Amino acid sequence: MKFYPVFINIEGKRCVVVGGGRVAERKVLALLECGADVVVVSPALTERLKGLKRKGLVEHINRRYRGGDLEGAFLVVSATDSQSLNEKVFGEAEKEGLLINVVDRPGLCNFIVPSVVRRGDVTIAISTSGSSPYTARWLRERIEEFLPEEFAKVVEIVGAVRKMMLKEKPNDDKKLRIFKQLLESPLLEYIRRGDRRNINALLREVTGLDMTLSKLGIKIEERKP
C-alpha cells in the first residue's frame, strides 16, 4: 500500500484516542505537542495520563468505547489490545470519513504515523508504509545523530537572515548563495560552542551586511571554555 505523505495541522482539532495504556499515552503526548484537543476513551489510564487529566490537558471518557464516541472528531487513534474493539473503532471512523490509525495494524488505517525527527521548525518524517517499523526507527536514530539538537538554532538563524534579506530585495542567485554558504559553514559548531563573535563575523561576511545575532533577535548561550 502506498501512503501519500502529508503534514496536517491539528491545532485546536478534536482528536480521539481509544485506549489508556502506554501506547495510547505516547500517542496522546504526540497529539498534545501539536496543539490538538485530545479526548481519551478508556476505563483505565496510565499514571501519566491521569496527571494530564488532572491538569485539564485531556478530556477523559471513563468507560469502554461506544458507538458515537467519535462525534465531532477530526482524527482518531485506536490503541487497545482488543482486535474486535479496534475493528469497531476503525469501521465507525471510516463510515464517518475520519482520519483513523489503528496502532500496528496498517490494514486498519487510512493514515499511518511516521518515525519523526524534530529540530526546531524542521520535521523529518520516515515511513516504510507500515512494513518495517524497526527500519523506520533505525533511520530516525541515524538522522538524529547527523542532526544534533543545536541544528534547530541553525534553522532559526537562516530563517531570520531570509526575512532580513527580503527587505534588501536581492536577486535569487544571491539569496541561494547566502543560504548555501551559511548551511555549509561552521555555523553549527559555533552554535555548539556558544561563539557569538564568530557567528556575527560569519553573518557579516556571508551577507555583506551589518547583520548580527542581536539584530536578528536571536539568542545564543555563550559557553565558558
**Which residues, in sequence order, are CB contacts of 112 under 8 Å at separation 6+?**
3, 101, 106, 127, 129, 130
- Work out the number of other CB atoms within 10 angstroms of the CB of residue 85: 16
3-class DSSP state for residue 14?
Answer: strand
Q: Counting Cβ atoms within 10 Å, is residue 159 exposed (0-12), middle (13-18) or buried (19+)? A: middle
DSSP 21-42: SHHHHHHHHHHHHTT-EEEEE-
List the chain domain ranges.
14-113, 114-147, 151-216
The pLDDT value recorded for residue 222 is 74
The pLDDT value recorded for residue 168 is 73
CATH classification of 114-147 is 3.30.160, yes or no? Answer: yes
| Alpha-helical segments (H) within 73-171 | 83-96, 133-146, 151-168
The pLDDT value recorded for residue 225 is 55
3-class DSSP state for residue 78?
Answer: strand
Cβ–Cβ under 8 Å, residues 16 and 39? yes
3-class DSSP state for residue 137?
Answer: helix
Cell of 195: 561563539
The pLDDT value recorded for residue 224 is 59
The pLDDT value recorded for residue 173 is 87
Of the candidates 28, 22, 26, 24, which has an alpha carbon nearest to the alpha carbon of residue 10?
Answer: 28
Give the H or E element holding residue 56. none
76: which strand partners?
16, 100
Integer Cα distance of 178 and 49 in angstroms: 46
The beta-strand segments (E) located in the chain are: 14-18, 37-41, 58-61, 75-78, 99-102, 115-119, 122-126
**Which residues, in sequence order, are CB contacts of 80 under 8 Å at separation 6+?**
18, 19, 21, 24, 42, 65, 86, 89
**Per CATH, which fold does 14-113 belong to?**
Rossmann fold (3.40.50)
pLDDT averages per 10-residue partition of the chain, 225 residues: 88 98 97 97 98 98 97 97 96 97 92 90 89 90 93 95 82 88 96 95 93 93 68
Q: Counting Cβ atoms within 10 Å, is residue 110 exposed (0-12), middle (13-18) or buried (19+)? A: middle
Of the candidates 73, 61, 8, which has an alpha carbon nearest to the alpha carbon of residue 37?
Answer: 73
- Work out the number of other CB atoms within 10 angstroms of the CB of residue 48: 13
